A and B are shown apart, each in its own frame.
Chain A
Amino acid sequence: MKKLSARRRHPLAALVVLLLALACTGGLYAAFAPASKAQADETAQSLAIDEGKKLYAVGCASCHGTGGQGTTDGPSLVGVGAAAVDFQVGTGRMPAQQPGAQVPKKKVIYSQAEIDQLAAYIASLGAGPAVPSEEKYGPEGADIAKGGELFRTNCAQCHNFTGKGGALTHGKYAPTLEGVDPKHIYEAMQTGPQNMPSFPDTTLSEQNKKDIIAYLDAVNGDDTVEPGGLSLGGLGPVSEGLFAWVFGLGALIAVAVWVAARTAKAKKS
């Protein structure tokens, strides 16, 4: 077992697992295709759960307990759903590296296939929100303006007007939403990671979530037009004041020094 777990940390392990998983599912699909499709799905699902369980035992069990029931180091994962796993592992927050005020976003160490397997395993422990499909967070049919209103009511208090993030108590913070995958934003709203409250579909409908994501893309996306020029971090008057002092007044003082300076005298040149 020790050997196996050592190998699993090998950089190529993920690839091997992925290929194996693909080969297995592909082979099984070929074998069972003529039969009922549901059965095939079920089998693939149970295979994924098995693989996920193994991954879980290696990477997660030390904090969350062998059965996901939680320990003093990590909360119970029963009923958190696949969406929570996809968010936490997919943004690199899990597995956590060190205790602190808040677990930060890091480099993702699992492949998407592994994440899916982990998610399948956790979902099997108790019912919870599933990973959203793309049409749920895609831009089609979204009302950007409504999304803005919803964002200002539900999100801006922590994440700032345009999702630049902000401070919480005792070193915790609401992270920036810039460059975050729409799927992960959707999952965060569904599941409420760490200290973020959840916004379940019963109080923030699927359409509401779609609108919010479309609004964020419009005001904080890669191609967002900032008509006035540099957005100065989108942080409001503090960065504007700093800019006015350093570059505005700074430039003017530099000019004033030139205006008032003595012109070079002939004998010195």
Chain B
Amino acid sequence: MSSQDIPEENLPAAQDHAHGSVKVADEENPFADPGLPPHEHRIQDLDERAAKRSERTVALLFTVSMLATVGFIASFVAIPVDKSVYIWPLGHISALNFALGMTLGVALFAIGAGAVHWARTLMSDEEVADERHAIEADAETRAKVHADFKQGAKESVIGRRKLIRNTMLGALTLVPLSGVVLLRDLGPLPGTSLRHTMWSKGKLLVNMNTNEPLRPADVAVGSLTFAKPEGLEEHDEGFMNEIAKAALMIIRLEPDAIKDKRELEWSHEGIVAYSKICTHVGCPISLYEQQTHHALCPCHQSTFDLADGARVIFGPAGHALPQLRIGVNDEGYLEALGDFDEPVGPSFWERG
């Protein structure tokens, strides 16, 4: 590296001849550092009345802070937690939150303002220069440390007794593995759980809103309905994990508006059921535009054409929404004809 170092003369000349002492103008070099300008006095330094005024201002600010703290405690005691109040332009807000926040804000701000005003007007404002010292040690210290280190290393015999060194490194490398192994029980292995949902042949499609199984007649063209599998209730232990995969979006199209052949096959009288979980990163996609038949994801704007096999027409999603094959059972209710054909939700390595 040193042979490639940039030569010193390429670097600009150091310009640190002055040390902050007050210097006279340099006739030879008009750009030379004239040194610190002479100190000028403030009004407060010369006029005791002005200084007194400053003192009173500072004291007033500290007093305001004390009063505000009293106000804070009084508000805390006096204002009920659920009382609301109309304050323009904030609107209807919690009286307690506003009172506590403002009194605390004033109490703190006034202390700060007092201290800063004190520093600015009454404490000495004479600028002083402090010398810097090089961070680097001098050559002597450097040599001493190097020598000490070498001696220490030599005395430890680590260089000579290679067996000790190597086994020690081995032991130190292995010992953190225990910590890694301990993390194993953070969760189960994925297995095939991401491939399956609760849907299976014969499961009824239950309306999310009314909790009743859906009939084909319930679903009108242009309408949007969300469904869950029969037997999944909101208070179930596993509800969250199951609904995160099984949520359905049900729409009805005119059968001749369906462009995709498989979509038509898997539908029932134009009723199609798609996974509500976006194939991008799993947001519940459901911004359905009934005239264009497009569904937009509110999180990252992936857009799917629900009349064309839910293929991606815009945005970051990588593949179409999985469709659930549906039919009607003997009692006239919509039912699933099996699980989804492919994993729902975001892509993952093993998805294939």
Judged by CB atoms under 8 Å, the answer to whether A and B touch is yes
Q: Footprint of B on A, CB under 8 Å? A: 150, 153-154, 157-158, 166, 168-169, 172, 174, 192, 194-200, 202-205, 208, 223-231, 258-259, 261-267, 269
B303 at interface, CB cutoff 8 A? yes
Complex-state Cα separation, A225 to B222, whole angstroms? 36
Check A195 against B225 for contact (C-beta < 8 Å): no
**What is the minimal beta-carbon distance from A158 to any residue of chain B, in angstroms?**
5
Complex-state Cα separation, A257 to B163, whole angstroms? 63
Chain B neighbourhood of A269, CB < 8 A: 43
Complex-state Cα separation, A183 to B225, whole angstroms? 22
Number of A-B contacts (CB under 8 A): 124
Complex-state Cα separation, A199 to B101, whole angstroms? 44
Sampled A-B contacts (13; CB under 8 Å) = A153-B209, A154-B209, A169-B314, A195-B292, A198-B223, A199-B223, A199-B224, A202-B218, A203-B219, A259-B116, A265-B41, A266-B42, A266-B46
Check A194 against B220 for contact (C-beta < 8 Å): no
Partner of A168, one of B91, B223, B285, B287: B287
Contacts A202-B220, A204-B225, A226-B93 supplied; 8 other A-B pairs, CB < 8 Å: A150-B209, A154-B226, A168-B289, A198-B224, A200-B218, A208-B210, A229-B98, A263-B42
Check B210 against A197 for contact (C-beta < 8 Å): no
B286 at interface, CB cutoff 8 A? yes
Check A228 against B218 for contact (C-beta < 8 Å): no
The proximity string for B residues 179-214 relative to A, scoring 1 for CB distances below 8 Å and 0 otherwise, is: 000000000000000000000000000011110001
Check B224 against A154 for contact (C-beta < 8 Å): yes
Chain A neighbourhood of B222, CB < 8 A: 192, 197-198
B290 at interface, CB cutoff 8 A? yes
Check B40 against A228 for contact (C-beta < 8 Å): no
Complex-state Cα separation, A150 to B39, whole angstroms? 72
Check B93 against A228 for contact (C-beta < 8 Å): yes
Closest to B251 in A: A197
**Given A166-B298, A198-B290, A202-B220: A266 in contact with B209 (beta carbons within 8 A):** no
Partner of B289, one of A172, A199, A203, A262: A172
B296 at interface, CB cutoff 8 A? yes
Chain B neighbourhood of A200, CB < 8 A: 218, 220, 223
Check A192 against B223 for contact (C-beta < 8 Å): yes
Chain B neighbourhood of A192, CB < 8 A: 222-223, 290
Closest to A265 in B: B40
B84 at interface, CB cutoff 8 A? yes
Chain A neighbourhood of B41, CB < 8 A: 265-266
**What is the minimal beta-carbon distance from B211 to any residue of chain A, in angstroms?**
10
**What is the minimal beta-carbon distance from A240 to any residue of chain B, in angstroms?**
15
Complex-state Cα separation, A180 to B44, whole angstroms? 62
Check A226 against B91 for contact (C-beta < 8 Å): yes
Q: Footprint of A on B, CB under 8 Å? A: 40-47, 84, 89-94, 97-98, 101, 116, 120-121, 125, 207-210, 214, 217-220, 222-226, 251, 284-292, 294, 296, 298, 301, 303, 314
**What is the minimal beta-carbon distance from A71 to any residue of chain B, in angstroms?**
16
**Given A203-B218, A203-B225, A266-B43: A194 in contact with B291 (beta carbons within 8 A):** yes
Check A266 against B45 for contact (C-beta < 8 Å): yes
Chain B neighbourhood of A258, CB < 8 A: 116
**Given A169-B289, A203-B223: A229 in contact with B93 (beta carbons within 8 A):** yes
Chain A neighbourhood of B226, CB < 8 A: 153-154
Which A-B residue pairs are the 9 nearest by beta carbons?
A197-B224, A227-B94, A202-B218, A195-B289, A225-B84, A203-B225, A197-B290, A265-B40, A225-B92
Chain B neighbourhood of A196, CB < 8 A: 290
Chain B neighbourhood of A204, CB < 8 A: 209-210, 225
Check B208 against A153 for contact (C-beta < 8 Å): yes
**What is the minimal beta-carbon distance from B101 to any residue of chain A, in angstroms?**
8
Partner of B90, one of A154, A168, A229, A263: A229
Closest to B125 in A: A263
Closest to A157 in B: B286
**What is the minimal beta-carbon distance from A63 to any residue of chain B, in angstroms?**
15
Chain B neighbourhood of A226, CB < 8 A: 90-93
Check B42 against A265 for contact (C-beta < 8 Å): yes
Complex-state Cα separation, A148 to B288, whole angstroms? 20
**Given A154-B224, A202-B219, A267-B40: A169 in contact with B292 (beta carbons within 8 A):** yes
Chain B neighbourhood of A265, CB < 8 A: 40-42
Partner of B94, one of A198, A225, A261: A225
**What is the minimal beta-carbon distance from A210 to any residue of chain B, in angstroms?**
12
Complex-state Cα separation, A265 to B42, whole angstroms? 4
Chain A neighbourhood of B44, CB < 8 A: 263
Complex-state Cα separation, A93 to B97, whole angstroms? 41
Check B296 against A197 for contact (C-beta < 8 Å): no
**What is the minimal beta-carbon distance from B315 to any residue of chain A, in angstroms?**
9
Chain A neighbourhood of B288, CB < 8 A: 197
Closest to B84 in A: A225
Chain A neighbourhood of B98, CB < 8 A: 229
Complex-state Cα separation, A212 to B237, whole angstroms? 27
